[in-house]
């Protein structure tokens, strides 16, 4: 085998979430970047080209040390495109020092204080008769359901986020990439 063939095979294995001989499941790519299971949530988020706004917000809110800690955490991570649904004016205001508490609450509404992979989420949905409620570290209640093969999260305002990339394993938990920002009850 050539190096090019090995590289291509490795890239396909990571993309497809291939199970290796040792039973290890490769992490999915996020934004074209490899996510490493031995890195923590912050280290991987910094490497994701589709989470720059999230990283900036987490930094502004002072949550870097928390989400670099031992966890375990489940983070529903909105993409830059998800943050793009918020007006520039509103997002700019949230990033101001005077609004740090509000930004922190919004961000912690995306975090659960346990490691929960999609298979467990699907099981809880099934056990709950098609839905279940989960409380986040920010005090938000999320209604978790299945929409076909996709997991959705509905916040207390009726905003629906869909998990677009599930089960991005981290050393201190798991990330599920979502397509919308979750908000506390307004």
Its pTM stands at 0.86
Question: Which pairs from 28-32 meet CB under 8 Å and 24+ separation?
Answer: 28/165, 28/166, 28/167, 28/168, 30/165, 30/168, 30/175, 30/177, 31/79
* Domain ranges, ordered by start, for the chain: 33-178
Q: What pLDDT, in 10s, does the model give residues 24-73?
A: 467 888 988 899 999 999 999 999 999 999 999 999 999 999 999 999 99
State the Cα–Cα distance between residues 101 and 107, nearest whole angstrom.
10
Q: Which two tokens stand for residue 123?
A: 């099981």
Contacts of 8 (CB under 8 A, 6+ apart): none
* 100-117 residue pLDDT tens: 999 999 999 999 999 999
| CATH superfamily to which 33-178 belongs | FAS1 domain (2.30.180.10)
Contact criterion met (CB below 8 Å) for 75 and 173: yes
> What confidence score (pLDDT) does residue 9 get?
32
Residue-level pLDDT at 25:
61
58: nearest Cα among 71, 68, 47: 68
The answer to whether 117 and 167 have CB atoms below 8 angstroms apart is: yes
Sequence-ordered strand ranges (E) for the chain? 73-78, 111-112, 131-135, 141-147, 150-154, 160-170, 173-178
Tens digit of pLDDT for each residue in 126-175?
Answer: 999 999 999 999 999 999 999 999 999 999 999 999 999 999 999 999 99
């Amino acid at each position: 085998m050539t190096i090019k063939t090995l590289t291509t095979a490795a890239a396909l294995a990571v993309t497809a979430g291939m199970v290796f001989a040792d039973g290890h499941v490769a992490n999915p790519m996020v934004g074209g970047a490899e996510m490493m299971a031995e890195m923590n949530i912050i280290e991987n988020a910094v490497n994701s080209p589709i989470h720059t706004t999230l990283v900036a917000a987490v930094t502004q809110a002072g949550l870097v040390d928390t989400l670099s800690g031992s966890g375990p955490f489940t983070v529903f991570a909105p993409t830059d495109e998800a943050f793009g649904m918020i007006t520039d004016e509103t997002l700019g205001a949230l990033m101001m020092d005077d609004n740090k508490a509000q930004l922190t609450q919004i961000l912690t509404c995306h975090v659960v204080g346990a490691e929960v992979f999609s298979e467990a989420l699907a099981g809880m949905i099934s056990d709950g008769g098609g839905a279940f409620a989960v409380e986040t570290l920010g005090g938000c209640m999320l209604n978790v359901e299945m929409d076909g093969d996709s997991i959705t999260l509905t916040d207390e305002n009726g905003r629906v986020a869909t998990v677009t990339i599930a089960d991005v394993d981290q050393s201190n938990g798991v990330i599920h990439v979502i397509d919308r920002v979750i908000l506390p009850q307004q």
